[in-house]
Amino acid sequence: MPSLLFRSVLVLLLAVFSAPSMAADMQGSCMVSFNIKNKTFINGVTPVSCQALESRRLALFQQVNAMPTTGNVDVSGALQKLDSLQAKLKASNASSDWAGISMAITGNAMATYALGVCVLGDVPDCAIAVVSKLMSMVSLVDSAASASDKSKAVQQMTTDIANLRKAIEALQPPAAAIRNRMVDDFNGMCANIKTHCLN
């Protein structure tokens, strides 16, 4: 018969190794505003303005960090936010309100779009890819590019949002897995920002 001590140790080990893993969080050093230099860095494969991203980054990180760690992703809530973003982009594009388009791409909007893409589960570095995509459009509409080029980019974005909406509307993935994936992506992006935008 195993001794009482042996059985106690065994119970303790089983409790430790069978306990659910803790949810990842954004690194504390990333949850503050940075004194950003006027530079660009490569986010994924896309050059991104450090200053343009910094104006949105903290709200983005806060939104992701506040995501639930239990249950399923609230896809219906994400769909409503995607609909709102799409409507803002369409309205601003119709009136050639390029500043309005840039303002519509908030940190919260990026978090919602990234959530939708990460829910699909088949996009490598899903959160990073979304930030690159949205910031590329912001860079274009804020530039001296032609109105035609700006309008085409925004039209493509609204089409992409509509397609994403259709793809995720019936999905109910576990919240913890999606949150952890996004946190890992953005912790990596934060380290990249610290390396390339602060010096």
The label of the residue with tokens 């609230």 reads 74
Whole-structure pTM value? 0.85
Residue among 57, 24, 59 nearest 198 (CA) = 57
Token digits of residue 79: 């769909």
Token digits of residue 50: 């450090």
Helices 126-141 & 107-120 angle (0-180, nearest 10): 140
Residue 21 above 50 pLDDT?
A: no
Q: Do residues 41 and 48 lie in contact, with contact meaning Cβ atoms separated by under 8 Å?
A: yes
Query: What are phi and psi for residue 106, nearest 5 degrees?
Result: -90, 170
Q: Do residues 141 and 152 lie in contact, with contact meaning Cβ atoms separated by under 8 Å?
A: no
pLDDT tens sequence across 45-62 = 888 999 999 999 999 999
d(CA 48, CA 52): 8
pLDDT tens sequence across 61-81 = 999 999 999 999 999 999 999
